[in-house]
Amino acid sequence: MKEKRRPDRADIEAVRNQILDFACAKHDFKLESEEFPFDGNWNGVFLVKFRDNFEEDKLYSEVPLGEHFIRFGLDLEVDEEVWRKSHEDILREASGYDVAIYPSHAPDEGKRRCRLSIRAWVPNFGQRIFGLTFSNLMDCKKAILSMLAPE
Domain count, the chain: 1
- Does residue 73 form part of some domain? yes
Q: Which domain holds residue 94?
A: 9-148
- Does residue 139 form part of some domain? yes
Residue 1, pLDDT > 70, answer no
- Does residue 22 form part of some domain? yes
Given a contact cutoff of 8 angstroms between Cβ atoms, the answer to whether 62 and 74 are in contact is no
- Rounded to an integer, the average pLDDT of 61-69 is 80
- Does residue 3 form part of some domain? no
- Does residue 4 form part of some domain? no
- Does residue 2 form part of some domain? no
> Which tens digit of pLDDT belongs to each residue from 106-119?
778 889 999 999 99
User: Among 10-24, 51-65, 90-104, which is the least confidently predicted range?
Assistant: 10-24
Question: Percent of the chain scored above 90 by pLDDT?
Answer: 28
Residues 70-104 as b or e (16 or more Cβ within 10 Å = b)? bbbbbebebeeeebeebeeebeebbeebebebebe
CATH code of the domain covering residue 71: 3.30.1460
- Does residue 1 form part of some domain? no
- Mean pLDDT over all residues of the chain? 81
How far apart CA 108 and CA 77 sit, in angstroms, is: 10
- Does residue 111 form part of some domain? yes
pTM over 0.75: yes
How far apart CA 149 and CA 28 sit, in angstroms, is: 27
User: Among 48-62, 69-83, 121-135, which is the least confidently predicted range?
Assistant: 121-135
> How many Cβ atoms from other residues are within 10 Å of residue 107's Cβ?
16
